[in-house]
A and B are shown apart, each in its own frame.
Chain A
Amino acid sequence: MIAQNVVFGILAAAMGLSAIGVVRTKNVVHAALFLVVVLAGGAAQFLLLGQEFIAWVQVLVYIGAVIVLFLFGIMLTRAPMHPDESLDNNLRWPAAVVALFLAGILGGLFVTTFHAESVDARQALEPARTAVVSDAVFRTYIIPFEVVGVLLLGALVGAVVLARKD
């Protein structure tokens, strides 16, 4: 239990600092690399919770594919590779106020509502096995699964239509 909390603390600190890096850095490529740290930390948190399938899907889909897409987008729009002051607009302080306000509300709600509930990864491990996940996806949630498949096809066709040169 203590070890899990220590691992959580280290991961959470890395994720929080990298998240701030994503929104504060002056270099677009660095923002993408900070995002890799946040997403890998998220996958590690999923493993810590005993949810292995979603952790490896996160590594494959997010770190493997989405980040590559982002880097392609950065390069194709000829974003500045050197530090650039013009990445932020002049809404920095209003945005910070909104974010702090939202953080206060969410944090207060969580602290008052779930102050003592604990989660045990060993207890969660058995019902979270990949075989159980596949049973749930292909039996209980087969219709949403198929709808998501059609949505992905639509997104694929739409992206090709939007991005191709006429």
Chain B
Amino acid sequence: MLLNQFLLLSAFLFCVGVYGVLARRHTVLVLMSVELMLTAVNINLVAFGAYHGDVIGQVFALFVLTIAAAEVGVGLAIVLLIYRNLRTSDLDDVETMKG
């Protein structure tokens, strides 16, 4: 297997995640697109770890995964708070800070 095929797959997933973050309006869907990007990064780390025959890729992917889980927890708590206060889950309606 070429290293490149994993890198290109992860680049594709990352770009799809970027598109989702920019084009989605529903907050939960934006968080899901962020998860896509984090998965792409993990595939990159693990592929390079396997390429170098080193365990460090797996260890760093583990840390990224842990932080992604923490991010989803806090992110969904914020989404719930926005929904409770503004009665919306639409990012375009959250414009209190707009001048």
Interface residues on A, range: 35 or more
Q: Is B32 a contact of A72 with CB atoms below 8 Å?
A: no
Main secondary structure, interface of B, reads helix
* With A31-B32, A107-B8 as contacts: A120 and B73 at CB distance below 8 Å: no
**Total contacts A to B, CB within 8 angstroms?**
255
Inter-chain contact B11/A87, CB cutoff 8 Å: no
Given contacts A45-B6, A86-B90, A107-B11, whether A91 and B23 have CB atoms under 8 Å apart is: yes
Q: Would you call B18 and A42 a contact (CB within 8 A)?
A: no
- In terms of DSSP, what is the predominant structure of the interface of chain A? helix
Alpha-carbon gap, A33 to B19, bound state (A): 19
Asked if residues A62 and B65 are in contact (CB atoms below 8 Å), the reply is yes
Contact A23 B9 (CB under 8 A): no
Instruction: Report chain B residues within 8 Å CB of A136.
Output: 55-56, 59
Q: List 11 A-B contacts (CB under 8 A).
A: A19-B36, A48-B1, A49-B46, A51-B49, A54-B46, A66-B68, A76-B83, A100-B15, A102-B18, A114-B7, A115-B4
List the interface of chain B (C-beta within 8 A of A).
1-9, 11-20, 22-29, 31-33, 35-36, 39, 42-43, 46-47, 49-51, 53-59, 61-63, 65-74, 76-81, 83-84, 89-92
Binding site for B on A (CB under 8 A): 1, 4-5, 8, 12, 15-16, 19-20, 22-23, 28, 31-32, 35, 38-39, 42, 45-46, 48-51, 53-54, 57-58, 61-62, 65-66, 69-70, 72-74, 76-79, 86-89, 91-92, 94-96, 98-100, 102-103, 106-107, 110-111, 114-121, 123-124, 127-128, 132-133, 136-137, 141, 144-145, 148, 151-152, 154-156, 158-160, 162-163, 165
